[in-house]
Amino acid sequence: MPSQNEINRRYNNVRSRMEREGTDALLVCGNQYAGFEGAVLYMSGFEIVHRYVYVLFPLEGEPTLVFPREARWIGDKGKPWVKDHVWPDVPGQWIRDMAAGRGWKRLGVYGLDFVMPVRDYRELAQGSLELVQFDRQFDMARAVKSEEELAEVRDAMDIILDGFWALVGAYTPGKTEAEIMAPAVERFFARGAGPRMMNILLSGPRGEADAFFKVPGRRVVAADDLLLYSLEITGAGGYWVEFSRPLLRGKPGLTTQRMADAYPLALEAARKLMRAGELASNVHRAVAETFSRHGFALGHLSGHSIGTTMLEYPAIGASSEVPLEENMIFSLHPQVVDENGKVCLYTQDTYRIGKTGGEVLADVPWRFFAGQETPESVMPVHQARSEK
């Protein structure tokens, strides 16, 4: 549970954005879909177990947790600090009537496009209430992390690295992709991630990975298979982190090796620009131009802000003209794809924005891991990976 000072800080930051937009209230949407439950946790302390929940947050007054009636017995209702709870049959209708009764004209909505159920949108759209997209405003209000939040982020990173080393220890050709993944998931769950995790995979034979993500399954791994496990979890505090390194017992394919030669250069170019005042687009450009000089393009954005929601604004992309601020947290995950869109290489790291450069929260060198390594046997590529 965050301190009262931390709760007040969050609420003051959000209300400042609401005042700028002229909204009477904010509706924060969250649902069970992995990564989209965190905004509710951030604003209320409620952990979504199943279905969906809203936090109705007025410009003045106390917030309310709005549950669909069918979720009355799902989740620990004694855990959140928001104590006003309602369970209407159709939450959208209840919210519409509440807004009308209070004379609200403009309702900001976080999660309008991707999270809000259609049945509630229909009800809200029938009235005179103006619905205002509020995703970017909300994410910017929570983008700079407090010291309490940073402690939760670092705890989550410690957990994900614990799982990564369990993954490395389990990596043996002849096992299935799922069997190699299993010890990491066991560590994640035991240390507080619960259901808040998304662990997916890029893989392929002859030292090359196919350029599409999949769920680790029953495919048996050969010695020359390239495995790129994308580890994405939270700690008990609900803050997401992401991490990935390539696994390969044999030799990388020629295309993979050319990509690998560029990776440390691209990551260090990005880290140097992860500083207060720099534009997020410049970080992306440094990554893209490094790989372009080696003959490759990126499969998608270089990365994104990350917190209690897996994907937060701003992105690290070509059009993201957002100045970075100290103590923002970003996932950097460039996926490099060959000219035919068939072969790729991928990594993930989580960074804290510093005054003069980025802090890599996982001090694990970028390299191919063969399964025999331990944390003690792997020396950092850079002795000074962070700048304050």
pLDDT of residue 384: 38
pLDDT of residue 9: 97
Strand order in the sheet with 312-316: 312-316, 303-305, 329-332, 349-352, 359-360
Q: Which residues of 2-35 are buried (b: 16+ CB within 10 A; e: fewer)?
A: beeeebebbeebbbebbeeeebbbbbbbbbeeeb
pLDDT by residue (tens digit) across 254-280? 999 999 999 999 999 999 999 999 999
Of 141, 160, 183, the residue at which a domain comes to its end is: 141
| Total domains present in the chain | 2
pLDDT of residue 297: 86
Q: Taking residues 276-295, report their average pLDDT.
A: 95
- Mean pLDDT, the chain, whole residue set: 94
Amino acid 275 reads R
Q: In a 3-state reduction of DSSP, which class is residue 287?
A: helix
Of 101, 124, 141, the residue at which a domain comes to its end is: 141
Does residue 63 form part of some domain? yes
Same domain, 163 and 311: yes
pLDDT by residue (tens digit) across 74-104? 899 999 999 999 999 999 999 999 999 999 9
Same domain, 47 and 194: no
pLDDT of residue 184: 98
Same domain, 49 and 112: yes
pLDDT of residue 377: 87
* Lookup result for tokens 């495995």: 227
The CATH number for 356's domain is: 3.90.230.10
For residue 339, give its domain range. 147-377
pLDDT of residue 149: 98
Same domain, 240 and 363: yes
Same domain, 60 and 153: no
pLDDT by residue (tens digit) across 354-387? 999 999 999 899 999 999 899 988 865 443 344 4
pLDDT of residue 299: 73
pLDDT by residue (tens digit) across 320-353? 999 999 999 999 999 899 888 899 999 999 999 9
Same domain, 157 and 110: no
Same domain, 185 and 287: yes
**Whether the Cβ atoms of residue 336 and residue 345 lie closer than 8 Å to each other:** yes
Same domain, 157 and 124: no
Same domain, 153 and 277: yes
β-strand pairing of 226-234 with 246-247: antiparallel
Same domain, 44 and 99: yes
pLDDT of 296 above 50: yes
pLDDT by residue (tens digit) across 174-192? 999 999 999 999 999 999 9
d(C-alpha 332, C-alpha 362), whole Å:
12
Does residue 385 form part of some domain? no
Same domain, 240 and 348: yes
Q: Give the rounded percent of residues in the chain with a pLDDT score beyond 90.
A: 88
Q: Is 347 exposed, middle or buried (0-12, 13-18, 19+ CB in 10 A)?
A: buried
Beta pairing partners, 57 = 26
Q: In 3D, which of 260, 261, 228, 262 has the Cα closest to residue 245? A: 228
pLDDT of residue 380: 59
Does residue 259 form part of some domain? yes
Same domain, 235 and 169: yes
